[in-house]
Amino acid sequence: MGLLTDNNFSLIQNYCLEHDIFFEKDVELSKVSYMKTGGRAHLVLKPRSSEQAAGLLGFLTQNGLGYKIIGNTSNLLFLDDVDYPVLISSAAMTDIVLDQSQGRIVVQGGALMPDLSRAALSGCLAGFEGLEGIPGTIGGGIFMNAGAYGAELKDKLIEAELALPDGSLRHFSLADLQLSHRSSVLRREASGSFVCSATFQAKTGDERKIFGKMELFHAKRHKYQDFMYPNLGSIFSGSPYRALSARDRYFKLMSAAYYLLNYELRLFRRESPINRRWLNDLVLKRFPLRYQHQPFSDKTLNCLVNRGQGTKEMVRFIRQMEELTSGLVPLENEIVEEF
Ligand SMILES: Cc1cc2nc3c(=O)[nH]c(=O)nc-3n(C[C@H](O)[C@H](O)[C@H](O)COP(=O)(O)OP(=O)(O)OC[C@H]3O[C@@H](n4cnc5c(N)ncnc54)[C@H](O)[C@@H]3O)c2cc1C
């Protein structure tokens, strides 16, 4: 579909003005998206309440206008040569309300997971420690049941309020949301529904222990995760190294020796290596991956980095890796195609 017609642009703009919904025009995604890629977004709409979100979805659906919901865009690869008509952002819905006595936290869909984790710490509620370093929103997190270091959103989630494309608001229980490893009913069915808020229930814990875990996970993440180049965390759910090993016996043997020496026995240094350059170079020798700019992080092959190579090259790498790993590791990052 690409850019909106002038008529549709005016129609949506007038709706937003009438309903007091924030919007931005002609947004350069390469400046504001997490990966720093993408063409323009003609309109980015930012509802501030569940009612506004539901009304907006109903209005767009009735008028046959396509849209894409976004959170912090930390899992989204927008394409350089695509202009997107309408993005609905949760950026104006970021409230977190904590009821310490009941062990309950009600969070709007645009609040960041690290903020939820820190709010839980301040209320001495345990079980959110692993979310501290995931740079996404609650809505984006529920969409893919985000998680790390033994904590997933589904562990403490009770229910969520969703705005549906028909303009209604509905409460989904944890069971309705069908959260599984990096997936949910929203992801599987590409439903176009918007997570307005979510309710979490947790038990009180020892503040020092909660703090200690958060510190540990933060330090580990800083060590193993690329933070030099724009990136979207893991490309695949699962280890592409293991999947490549299944394809090439020599690589399997050498990578097994690498892990044994560096991570198990730690013969060469007491700490595990912070990058896998040696192993990555071996991948490049054994598999037909040739690039002008290395498309992945030195810390791991499983992290696409933006070195200015453009999204055509990034998608080429993803597709090549999918072929080489024979579908053994599902794609976690989302390529936002034209709509
Ligand atoms: C450095 C880094 C580290 C990461 N580490 C982890 C990790 O440890 N564990 C992990 O699970 N993920 C990790 N991620 C990936 C990413 O942060 C998660 O996928 C996160 O859940 C995405 O949230 P978001 O708000 O950025 O969503 P976006 O990227 O904006 O959107 C992702 C999907 O969610 C949908 N969506 C977003 N908001 C809503 C909403 N309100 N209602 C309905 N649908 C919505 C979008 O339509 C889209 O399909 C990492 C990413 C980075 C960049």
Distance 93 CA to ligand 1 centre (A): 16
Distance 262 CA to ligand 1 centre (A): 31
Mean pLDDT of 172-196: 94
In whole angstroms, give the CA distance from residue 238 to residue 260: 19
Distance 194 CA to ligand 1 centre (A): 14
Tens digit of pLDDT for each residue in 259-283?
898 888 877 666 666 788 999 999 9
| High-pLDDT (> 90) share of the chain, % | 91
Tens digit of pLDDT for each residue in 140-178?
999 999 999 999 999 999 999 999 999 999 999 999 999
User: Which of 69, 155, 176, 179 for mutating ligand 1's site (highest number of atoms within 8 Å of CB)?
Assistant: 69
User: What is the pLDDT confidence band of residue 229, given thresholds at 50, 70 and 90?
Assistant: very high
Distance 259 CA to ligand 1 centre (A): 30
Average per-residue pLDDT in the chain?
A: 95
How buried is 255 (Cβ within 10 angstroms: 0-12 exposed, 13-18 middle, 19+ buried)? buried
Tens digit of pLDDT for each residue in 99-130?
999 999 999 999 999 999 999 999 999 999 99
Tens digit of pLDDT for each residue in 295-328?
999 999 999 999 999 999 999 999 999 999 998 9
CATH 3.30.43.10 in the chain: give the residue spans: 6-89
Q: Which CATH class is domain 6-89?
A: alpha beta
Give the pLDDT confidence score for residue 261 in this predicted structure: 87
Tens digit of pLDDT for each residue in 232-253?
999 999 999 999 999 999 999 9
Q: Give yes or no for residue 212 having a pLDDT over 80.
A: yes
Instruction: Report which DSSP code applies to 204.
Output: B
The DSSP-derived string for 249-316 is: HHHHHHHHHHHIIIIIS--S-SSPPS--HHHHHHHHHHS----SS--B-SS-TT-BB-SS--HHHHHH
CATH 3.30.465.10 in the chain: give the residue spans: 96-224
In whole angstroms, give the CA distance from residue 214 to residue 265: 27
Give the pLDDT confidence score for residue 272 in this predicted structure: 66
In whole angstroms, give the CA distance from residue 72 to residue 165: 21
Q: Give yes or no for residue 60 having a pLDDT over 60.
A: yes
In whole angstroms, give the CA distance from residue 205 to residue 120: 10
Q: Give yes or no for residue 5 having a pLDDT over 90.
A: yes
**Which has the higher per-residue pLDDT, 267 or 214?**
214
Q: Give yes or no for residue 2 having a pLDDT over 80.
A: no
96-224 is classed in which CATH architecture?
Answer: 2-Layer Sandwich (3.30)
User: Which of 67, 68, 74, 107 for mutating ligand 1's site (highest number of atoms within 8 Å of CB)?
Assistant: 74
User: What is the pLDDT confidence band of residue 223, given thresholds at 50, 70 and 90?
Assistant: confident
Q: Which residues line ligand 1 (CB under 6 A)?
A: 34, 68-76, 90, 109, 134-137, 139-141, 143-144, 146-148, 186, 194-195, 225, 231-233, 334
Taking Cα atoms as reference points, which of 202, 187, 102 lies closest to residue 139? 187
Mean pLDDT of 182-203: 94
Mean pLDDT of 92-102: 96
Give the pLDDT confidence score for residue 262 in this predicted structure: 85
